[in-house]
Amino acid sequence: MNVVHTAPAFELPGVDGRIHSLEEYADAPVLVLIQSCNHCPYVLAWEGRINALQREYAERGVRIVAISSNDAEAYPADSFERMFDHTREADYAFDYLYDESQEVARALGSERTPECFVYDADRRLVYHGAVDDSREESEVTTHYVRDAIEAALAGEAPPVAETQPVGCTVKWRT
Amino acid sequence: MRIEFLYWEGCPSHPEAKELLQLVLDERGIDDPIEVREVVSHDDAVALAFPGSPTIRIDGRDVDPAGAHAPPSMSCRVYRLPGDRVSPIPSRQQLEEALS
């Protein structure tokens, strides 16, 4: 799939019981969309760091939004209902939305979970790829998403604009 | 010793897991072959009681008994490691314990 370089419009239900749209985040100087899910061990390995990023950058208006698009019929652990449970268990500080039709995943050009898309204030894609360079937190040397957020907040280009996302495949409907 | 390595191509963790398994086997001087089997369908997963990729069994015993009885699934397997960590592959310690 080809990654699109502007944030796609969306209107999706969240685990907070509300419908969320791209426009809702218009005031955020940086928006990070993350293709995600409940069951993938790569997501589970990284979600704590994603949560920490949201908590750290909340004061500066940065919004992280995770989106699950996986086929919940084939992967019941990724159902909308299980998303509620997982959000509570993991104490997510960010919005977690359900893309049942998979249209947003297609619009993003997602292939993996987790897969990150960092957009600047004009919603231009400034970084696409992995959260950082190791699923083992103790071995991380480069914080791709953090660096991209900082760069976007400063109105600059990030040092790295693209990496290969590492994770489970998006579970497409057949 | 029978060493089974079951994997699903849709999960990217199997090369790393197999490499770690081979490393641990080499360190212990175990030269029994690894029986590698690709799981290609849900029916396969059910027939092999495959809880996710990769699954490693030593003489029929899963290297992570706690996760061995999860429902059959064509997905990446979750390994719970010490320190509340999660990994898509078993730890070296789990492999070593399974081989001892």
Determine, for residues B11 and A168 on separate chains, whether the beta-carbon distance falls below 8 Å.
yes
What is the fold, at CATH topology level, of the domain defined by A26-169?
A: Glutaredoxin (3.40.30)
**Residues A143/A159, Cβ–Cβ less than 8 Å:** no
A42 touches B at CB < 8 Å: yes
A45 touches B at CB < 8 Å: yes
Three-state SS for A159? Answer: coil
Q: What is the mean pLDDT, run by run of 10 residues, along chain A of 174 residues?
A: 83 98 98 97 97 98 98 95 97 98 97 98 97 96 98 97 97 93
Amino acid at A172: W
Residue written as token pair 């293709």: A35
Residue written as token pair 């690709």: B38
Residues of chain B found within 8 Å of residue A166, distances taken between Cβ atoms: 12
A39 touches B at CB < 8 Å: yes
Closest by CA to A45, choosing from A156, A166, A128, A174, is A166
Q: Mean per-residue pLDDT for B48-71? A: 96
Residue B84's pLDDT is what?
83
Residue A4's pLDDT is what?
74
**Count of residues in chain A:** 174
A41 touches B at CB < 8 Å: yes
**Residues B30/B1, Cβ–Cβ less than 8 Å:** yes
> CB pairs under 8 A, 24+ apart, for A132-137?
A132/A46, A132/A49, A133/A163, A135/A42, A135/A45, A135/A46, A135/A166, A135/B87, A135/B88, A136/A45, A136/B85, A136/B87, A137/A48, A137/A49
Per-domain residue ranges of chain A: 26-169
**Residues A39/A78, Cβ–Cβ less than 8 Å:** yes
Q: Residues of A numbered 106-165 whose beta carbons fall under 8 angstroms of chain B's beta carbons: which are they?
A: 135-136
Residues of chain A found within 8 Å of residue B78, distances taken between Cβ atoms: 39, 41, 44
Three-state SS for A111? Answer: coil
Closest by CA to A81, choosing from A100, A102, A106, A62, is A100
Three-point CA angle A172, A74, A130, nearest 5°: 45
**Residues B61/A20, Cβ–Cβ less than 8 Å:** no
A67 touches B at CB < 8 Å: no
Task: Nearest by CB to A45, from B11, B12, B86: name it.
Answer: B86
Residue written as token pair 């369908």: B41
* Average pLDDT of the residues of chain B: 96
Three-state SS for A39? Answer: coil
Per-domain residue ranges of chain B: 3-99
Residue B71's pLDDT is what?
92
Average the pLDDT over each of A5-14, A66-75, B27-36, B76-85 and give the range with the smallest value: B76-85
Residue B39's pLDDT is what?
98
B91 touches A at CB < 8 Å: no
- The two three-digit tokens of residue A103, written as one number: 């249209």
Residue B82's pLDDT is what?
84
- The two three-digit tokens of residue A1, written as one number: 């799939």
Residues of chain A found within 8 Å of residue B76, distances taken between Cβ atoms: 39-42, 168
Q: How confident is the model at residue B83 (pLDDT cuts 50, 70, 90)?
A: confident
In this prediction the ipTM stands at 0.89
Determine, for residues A40 and B86 on separate chains, whether the beta-carbon distance falls below 8 Å.
no
For residue A108, count other CB atoms closer than 10 A to its CB.
25
